[in-house]
Amino acid sequence: MKLKLFSLSLLICFLLPSVYSQQKINLEDIWQNYKYIGKRVPGFKFMNDGQHYTRLESNTIKRYDLTTGEFVSDILAGESLKDQSGFEGKISAYGFNHDESQIMIESNKESIYRRSSKANFHLYNRKTNSLTAIYDEDKIMYATLSPDGKKVAYVWDNNIYYLDLDSGVTLPVTMDGEKNKIINGAADWVYEEEFSFAKAFFWSPDSKKIAYQRFDENEVPEFTMTKHKNEVYPEYITFKYPKVGEKNAIVTAHIYNIETEKTIDLSLGEDEHYIPRIKWTKDPNQLFVYKMNRHQNMLEVLNFNAISGKSNSILKEESKYYIDITDDIRFLDNKKQFIWSSEKTGYNHLYLHDMKGKSTALTTGEYDVTDFYGYDAKNQRIFFQAAKESPLRREIYSANLKGQSPKKMSATSGTNSAQFSSTFDYYVNSHSDINQPASYIVYSRNNKKVRTIEDNADLSATQEAVEVAPVEFFEFTTSENVSLNGWMIKPQGFDKNRSYPLFMHVYGGPGSQTVTDSWKGQNYWWFQMLAQQGYIVVSVDNRGTGARGSEFKKMTYLELGKYETMDQIEAAKYLGNLPFVDKSRIGIFGWSYGGYMSSLALFKGNDVFKSAIAVAPVTNWKWYDTIYTERYMRTREENEDGYEQNSPINFVDQLKGNYLLVHGLMDDNVHFQNSAEMANALVNANKQFDTYLYTNKNHGIYGGNTRYHLYKKMTNFLDQKLKSGTLENDVVKRP
């Protein structure tokens, strides 16, 4: 009996390594079973007391204590409102008014583009337990309660309306809206995509006025996409999309006075310009309007009097390159000052401005402030994120309004981001590093740990179970003496005396980063899977990427793609000369700007790269939109050489390796036109290539089996074109 037990235990010892070795990462678990999705903590809706927050769970708005995590009470159950005022009983989103006495409820949300949407809206009054339909005949956009809680403004059919809650009467603010002609109170496609906002109307602090933007699209060229519906004829979706050099919408700013029922048209001059932001100050009679020239290298902030319509210039900035627009502005209660971010010193920093143009630097140094969290008026402190210690990492800081040295709040290396409670007494620190999934921890304002919300320990255990390889950072210096950062995943059982195929991931666009000490999400698992199959996986941040100052970021101006491609080719050459890399089998993959980069790298680096995957790539800058492209490249007439020399479609004749071209046919951002023209050019040049098209899919190419289908194709492509045979044959033993 003892002998049998010993034999059985010995057998188990032999079997265990075999069992464990079978726990490999696979595409089904990544993109079908979603086995490796980390637990996330969504953004908090903090309540006014600064200690509690609310969350929508099981169709009920629930209140929790941030410091303990304990459930406190149900605030509103969607099911309890079913059939009242036409409400169907399902809450998709919600928001409180300033004193938390009313809740705006959104249901049946329908996305339009990246940020725009329409939905049904109802207002729930917590004092009277009553529900009011904002507009019961159709879905509307951006229903917003006035600060005094007495009116709701919204956009319907390209016009702005407001509902007077006391009288129940709905009144128009504008009346000239028309599809593909005039938009009031909502951004057009290119503003939404490139200036990052969709709602374009705002209540004044005293609830007496509505400031809004009007988009005259009449002369903007139209673009049509084809949606296939398994019917005899497809559906054609036509919208206004200004490509490089074409006419933009004429955008104007206005203030509607509720009491007088009159509109003031704000004068910004006859020159062609953008209005990337309008913002009410703390004074209900002062509206800030940002005015930017078409080249986007000059920005002026004008302060308009909401009664007279007269303005004065608050600040002006110019750049020899371009200016990025952000929402980094906070108005002080004294109505005399505001906090603002600027790159005017070469790094992004925060400044205290007064209404007469005087400014004081609140942060200084050779590092970028990467996020501005807010201003604690009671304690006169600002809170922000910065890449102060390294462009790879992010820390949380606080500072006073005297410009003294910032105080570091985050203690853990890696990437830290924060969400502060409404009183700034607590904050939730979201932390990850490149080898560790996100954790969410509550801290007090004096940086004492209160509790852990989520640490993703289960996902960390999964990493161990499937034997992931550590991601390692490296840096190298190019032939032009530029130091670049990268990360690398080596194959399981790495042998420095073997020679492995190399697979590179790139994005590379202005201000972006793929090389950060932060968790990489689903692609992390795909890269680890490839490493388990014998690939070395690498990503390198080229010139033009972020967190290294404006000169490093903006040096690609007028020549997008040139220096970025040079750097990726040099990175591949550097890596190919490492003793464990097979320089004859180097591949590169990118999506969107990354697809643009992978195409250029394969064509211009045809002696370096064997294979490339380009998903939803720009193939010629003349087919992309005005705001983005002209910000970095100006127009074709102004910069013909920059366009010609940095559009991959012009270099298809240099293709020697393997090229996989992927696109969604309903991509409203980077139009399928880019890949259609690329395919045509490749055929005309007699170049063989692979292509995959995704019917009715947009720029993200997702939904149902789509992502799994795409990643299976990309994996198979790499196995066929970059590897040769089985893993044993694939890894070349060096003498």
Give pLDDT tens digits for 188-198: 999 999 999 99
Question: How far apart (Å, rounded) are the C-alpha atoms in residues 615 and 184?
Answer: 35
Best CA proximity match to 502, nearest among 596, 604, 602, 588: 588
629-670 pLDDT tens trace: 999 999 999 999 999 999 999 999 999 999 999 999 999 999
∠ CA 217-222-223, nearest 5°, is 140
694-708 pLDDT tens trace: 999 999 999 999 999
**What pLDDT does residue 8 have?**
34
**What pLDDT does residue 23 have?**
78
4-37 pLDDT tens trace: 333 333 333 333 343 344 479 999 999 999 999 9
Beta bridge partners of 282: none
- What is the SS3 assignment for 211-228? EEEEEECCCCCEEEEEEC
Does the pLDDT value for residue 137 go beyond 70?
Answer: yes
Coil/strand/helix, residue 666 = coil
Beta bridge partners of 254: 212, 265
Question: How far apart (Å, rounded) are the C-alpha atoms in residues 302 and 339?
Answer: 15
Read off the tokens for 641.
């050489």
Read off the tokens for 216.
């005259």
Question: How far apart (Å, rounded) are the C-alpha atoms in residues 730 and 735?
Answer: 15
Coil/strand/helix, residue 41 = coil
**What pLDDT does residue 403 have?**
83
Total Cβ atoms within 10 A of residue 348: 28
Best CA proximity match to 439, nearest among 40, 27, 86: 40
DSSP for residue 95: E
Does the pLDDT value for residue 730 go beyond 60?
Answer: no
What residue type is 67 in one-letter code?
T
CATH number among 3.40.50.1820, 3.40.140.10, 3.40.1050.10, 3.30.420.40, domain 466-727: 3.40.50.1820
36-49 pLDDT tens trace: 999 988 778 999 99
DSSP string covering 550-566: HHHHHTTTT-TTHHHHH
**What pLDDT does residue 135 have?**
97
Beta bridge partners of 500: 581
The mean pLDDT of 199-208, rounded to a whole number, is 98
Read off the tokens for 322.
């371009």
Q: Sign of the C-alpha dihedral, residues 282, 284, 285, 291?
A: positive
∠ CA 61-62-66, nearest 5°, is 135
Query: Which spans in 455-515 are helix H?
Result: 457-465
Indicate the domain borders of the chain. Answer: 466-727
51-105 pLDDT tens trace: 999 999 999 999 999 999 999 999 999 999 999 999 999 999 999 999 999 999 9
Please say whether the beta carbons of 589 and 597 come within 8 A: no
* pTM, to two decimals: 0.94
For 33, 304, 328, 520, the CA distances from 279, given in Å and listed in that order, are 45, 10, 12, 35
DSSP for residue 652: G
Whose structure tokens read 């790298």? 601
**What pLDDT does residue 726 have?**
37
The mean pLDDT of 397-426, rounded to a whole number, is 95
Please say whether the beta carbons of 243 and 167 come within 8 A: no
Q: Which of 4-8, 118-122, 673-677 is least confident? A: 4-8
The mean pLDDT of 297-326, rounded to a whole number, is 97
Does the pLDDT value for residue 412 go beyond 50?
Answer: yes
**What pLDDT does residue 49 have?**
96
Categorize the per-residue pLDDT at 357 as very low, low, confident or very high, splitting at 50, 70 and 90: confident
The mean pLDDT of 357-371, rounded to a whole number, is 96
The mean pLDDT of 304-327, rounded to a whole number, is 97
Question: How far apart (Å, rounded) are the C-alpha atoms in residues 677 and 243?
Answer: 16
What residue type is 311 in one-letter code?
S
∠ CA 712-713-715, nearest 5°, is 65
554-608 pLDDT tens trace: 999 999 999 999 999 999 999 999 999 999 999 999 999 999 999 999 999 999 9
The mean pLDDT of 150-155, rounded to a whole number, is 98
Beta bridge partners of 383: 374, 398
Categorize the per-residue pLDDT at 367 as very low, low, confident or very high, splitting at 50, 70 and 90: very high
Pairing, β 658-664 against β 690-694: parallel
Categorize the per-residue pLDDT at 724 as very low, low, confident or very high, splitting at 50, 70 and 90: low
| Sequence-ordered list of residues with C-beta below 8 angstroms from that of 396, at least 6 positions apart, any chain | 373, 383, 384, 385, 408, 409, 410, 416, 417, 418, 427, 429
Read off the tokens for 277.
């932001």
Query: Bigger pLDDT: 42 or 229?
Result: 229
Please say whether the beta carbons of 264 and 255 come within 8 A: yes
Whose structure tokens read 């390889």? 469
What residue type is 347 in one-letter code?
Y
Coil/strand/helix, residue 533 = coil
**Helix, strand, coil % in the chain, rounded to nearest 5:** 20, 35, 45
**How high is the mean pLDDT of the chain?**
94
DSSP string covering 412-437: SSSEEEEEE-TTSSEEEEEEEETTEE
Please say whether the beta carbons of 500 and 581 come within 8 A: yes
What residue type is 561 in one-letter code?
G
Q: Which of 16-25, 131-140, 459-468 is least confident? A: 16-25
The mean pLDDT of 339-349, rounded to a whole number, is 98
